[in-house]
Amino acid sequence: MSKPINTPTYATPPGDTLLETIQVLGMSQIELESRTGINKKTINRIIKGKEPITQKTALALEKVLKVPAHFWLNMDNRYRQHLARQAEEATMSAHADWVKHFPYSEMVKLRFVPPATTAGEKAGRLLEFFSVSQPEGWRQMYAEDELALSYRKTAKAQDKLGALSAWLRQGEIQVDAVACGDFDESAFLKAIAAIRGFTTEEPKTFLPKMKQLCAEAGVIYLLVPELPGLGISGVMRWYRGKPVIQQSLLFKSNDHFWFTFFHEAKHVLQKRKKDIFLEGVNAETEDLQREEEANVFARHWLIPEAEWNRFVGEVAKMESAAIRSFAKSIQVHPGIVVGRIMREKLLPYSHPARHLITKFIWA
């Protein structure tokens, strides 16, 4: 594992000091055996660093050599720790190939993990981050369960599984800090209705309220910075018995952010406790129906279908002023309206109305 701050990189074997002490006194190992009652073979093994100094041995050396027992015990303890760290570092270095699965430098920038230089140090930091003692523990938690099966829907899944597990793990760490009761479906539906009204607010204003409303309904909401190249805008899964919605700011546009939230909210209501819903990957055939249900849910919650149909019937009037007016009438941000217009190809992405979409950035 990683080395504590200010840990010495060396330690003197207590046997060296023992040998030096008896030589200064002109005492042989045989004489030391006679005076202490410690077997000469044991004394020799201590001097060679092959055997630790026990409390009984330390007390005997104290009486004969007039050097306190705690001196011998402390020196031996430091030396044994030093040997253990050397062995641990050698083990960590052997995990160099495993470390390559993770975008370590990006994880450092996002403060997921502390800086490290060698592969061994990185391995230790990663094991601490994932709360496992060996890479095999990580494989069992992430690479061999339903998470891996879900993520293998993409062509380069194996290359990105490390980044995905790191992003999800950062969410898991945050989960423990959220006070959240049991899931209440009716309370969550009320929370969703209230959260829809936040689309015209800034993130610093709506995020605390959004998290609180979700928690009161038994849903944990997290916003975790995206790792480059991962391509995941959100995930819904049940973790430790709680539904968790975790989003990134992958595209950073407010229309995409809100669509993703309501999409994931529908997955919560589907109550598929053994499934992991990753947004940004290709769905398997059996998931298509649930994904489409979530898409329809998000579209209708953000823009009621009757209102949308009335609005798109006047396509010729789809200019910025008309979009603002429509958005105000249904009480959502105009960027959400523009986003849907352009996704449905009613206007080109180059249209001037695109400026109505706002960008969210990390503080």
User: What does the pLDDT average to over 196-220?
Assistant: 96
Higher pLDDT, 82 or 27: 27
Q: So what's the pLDDT on residue 149?
A: 46
pLDDT at 154 over 50: no
Q: So what's the pLDDT on residue 284?
A: 52
Higher pLDDT, 57 or 361: 57
Q: So what's the pLDDT on residue 9?
A: 54
Please state the φ and ψ torsions of residue 241, each to the nearest 5 degrees: 80, 5
User: What does the pLDDT average to over 120-138?
Assistant: 92
User: What does the pLDDT average to over 311-334?
Assistant: 88
Q: So what's the pLDDT on residue 71?
A: 96
The 10s digit of each residue's pLDDT in 299-318 is 999 999 999 999 988 766 67
User: What does the pLDDT average to over 59-79?
Assistant: 95
CA 357, CA 363: separation in Å to the nearest integer? 19
Whole-number Cα distances in Å, 199 to 138, 157, 195, 304, 359: 38, 33, 8, 15, 12
Higher pLDDT, 157 or 354: 354
pLDDT at 11 over 60: yes
Q: So what's the pLDDT on residue 160?
A: 83
Higher pLDDT, 14 or 146: 14
Q: So what's the pLDDT on residue 91?
A: 67
Per the listing, tokens 């005492």 go with 27
User: What does the pLDDT average to over 225-233?
Assistant: 88
CA 213, CA 219: separation in Å to the nearest integer? 9
The 10s digit of each residue's pLDDT in 248-296 is 988 899 999 999 999 999 999 998 887 788 776 544 545 788 889 999 9
Domain boundaries, the chain: 14-93, 97-162, 178-291, 303-363
User: Global pTM?
Assistant: 0.74
User: What does the pLDDT average to over 307-332?
Assistant: 88
CA 76, CA 73: separation in Å to the nearest integer? 5
- Say which residues have a Cβ less than 8 Å from residue 265's Cβ, sequence separation at least 6: 188, 192, 245, 297, 298, 301
Q: Are 9 and 23 in contact (CB under 8 A)?
A: no
User: What does the pLDDT average to over 154-167?
Assistant: 72
- Please, which residues bridge with residue 237 across strands? 244
Q: Between vectors from CA 83 to CA 78 and to CA 88, what angle results, nearest 5°?
A: 120
Higher pLDDT, 28 or 231: 28
Q: How many helices (H) and strands (E) does the chain have?
A: 18, 4
Task: Give the helix/strand (H/E) hosting 222.
Answer: strand 220-223
Q: Of 7-16, 228-237, 264-273, where does mean pLDDT reach its minimum?
A: 7-16
Q: So what's the pLDDT on residue 228?
A: 86
The 10s digit of each residue's pLDDT in 93-103 is 678 889 999 99
- Please, which residues bridge with residue 203 across strands? none
CA 320, CA 353: separation in Å to the nearest integer? 5
- What is the DSSP-derived secondary structure letter of residue 241? T
pLDDT at 4 over 50: no
Share of the chain above pLDDT 70, in %: 88
Share of the chain above pLDDT 90, in %: 67
pLDDT at 349 over 70: yes
Please name the fold of domain 14-93.
Answer: 434 Repressor (Amino-terminal Domain) (1.10.260)
Mean pLDDT, the chain, as a whole number? 88
